[in-house]
Structure 1
Amino acid sequence: MEWLDQNLWLAWLGLALVLVAIEAATVDFTFVMLAGGSLAGAVAAGAGLGFVWQVIIAVVVSFALILFLRPYVKRQFASSEASHSIGAAALPGRLARVIETVTETDGRVRLAGETWSARVPDGAPPCEPGEEVRVLAIDGAIAVVTNQPAGYQSPDAHQGGPPVGGA
């Protein structure tokens, strides 16, 4: 028990780690704020303050984080600017560079740092290597692209995703 009295900061640190693990499962930004309070308790223990002061500091810091920081963090993660689509859903509208001629059936483009199979919409002219194209949609693992202006909507864009510049 004497070792625990001398190393109480480790208990606070262990509590903080447990709270961060719970936060990873809940993603509600509550347990991570409590973990911040636990870290403040660990600092207080490391500074040599008594257990009562450690608990007071941990509780005050936890409540302050929950009341002031948590709403800001939740707002940032819930805002439309912060909730951009990820993965293939984020690709329509982006620009790509043609690597191999893109026709209605085949082609390759460099998109978001990766090489993608690509095709143009039915009836569209092919895109030549080196040309910059706009992604209209993602159809499975194939990027549907065009060298037309940004407002162009392909006849089959509705099949693979939202139209570019749509309403």
Structure 2
Amino acid sequence: MQSLWDWLGEHAWVVAWLGTALVLGMVELTTLDFVFLMLAVGAGSGALTAAVGGNFLVQLTVASLVSAALLIVVRPIAKRRLLSAPELPVGGAALVGQEAFVVEQVAANEGLVKLSGEIWTARPYDGRSVFEPGTRVGVAQIDGATALVHASDFA
């Protein structure tokens, strides 16, 4: 047990830097802003510098430079990648690519399809095709309240 106390006494700065890194890491868990995480990694680099024998000024310089570099370079990238929500289609855009069933013949200017449990007016996407009732079609585009449909690729 005495040897542990001797080691801690000889490496007090390593312990201090590691303790600082641990506290900063715990603060990061409450903020989730990546600032304290970058500072914790900087403190870890100070601990590493202390472990290899650097004096306090070198430890402080290394910890500061690593923290600053991480805050300037890594933090913006991490925030952008980890905190951005995926782009999800909403409204009519979410229906594009869905399968619909023809309820009433779909021709150049008229027709009805059942799409996502609702009845929609429909037209052929190419303007020439004709789809008979019971036919499965795919939605190529939504134009207002009208689904523009094409021959289905669905099995």
Q: Under a length normalisation based on structure 2, what TM-score does the superposition of the two structures give? A: 0.52
- For 2:75, the aligned partner's letter is R
1:5 deviates by: 5.0
The structure richer in helix per residue is 2
Find the structure with the greater CA-based Rg: 2
1:7 deviates by: 3.0
Corresponding residue number in structure 1 for 2:99? 149
User: Given the alignment, which residue of 15, 40, 43 partners 1:10?
Assistant: 15
In the alignment, the residues of structure 1 paired with residue 77 and residue 9 of structure 2 have an alpha-carbon distance, to the nearest angstrom, of: 36
SS at match of 2:99: coil
In the alignment, the residues of structure 2 paired with residue 4 and residue 58 of structure 1 have an alpha-carbon distance, to the nearest angstrom, of: 21
User: Given the alignment, which residue of 40, 53, 76 partners 1:35?
Assistant: 40
| Cα deviation 1:67-92 (Å, max 9, x = unaligned) | 000000011123343x88xxxxxxxx
For residues 39-58 of structure 1, what are the structure 2 equivalents within 5 Å?
39-58=44-63
The structure richer in strand per residue is 2
For residues 61-100 of structure 1, what are the structure 2 equivalents within 5 Å?
61-81=66-86
Task: Answer yes or no: is the 8 Å Cα contact 2:42–2:67 preserved in 1.
Answer: yes
Task: Answer yes or no: is the 8 Å Cα contact 2:11–2:51 preserved in 1.
Answer: no
- For 1:149, the aligned partner's letter is E
What is the RMSD computed on CA atoms of the aligned residues? 3.3
1:154 deviates by: 2.0
Corresponding residue number in structure 2 for 1:59? 64
In the alignment, the residues of structure 2 paired with residue 44 and residue 152 of structure 1 have an alpha-carbon distance, to the nearest angstrom, of: 64
- For 2:44, the aligned partner's letter is L
1:39 deviates by: 0.5
In the alignment, the residues of structure 2 paired with residue 11 and residue 152 of structure 1 have an alpha-carbon distance, to the nearest angstrom, of: 64
In the alignment, the residues of structure 2 paired with residue 17 and residue 25 of structure 1 have an alpha-carbon distance, to the nearest angstrom, of: 13
Change (3 A) 1:38 1:48: same
In the alignment, the residues of structure 2 paired with residue 9 and residue 69 of structure 1 have an alpha-carbon distance, to the nearest angstrom, of: 25
Q: How many residues align?
A: 97
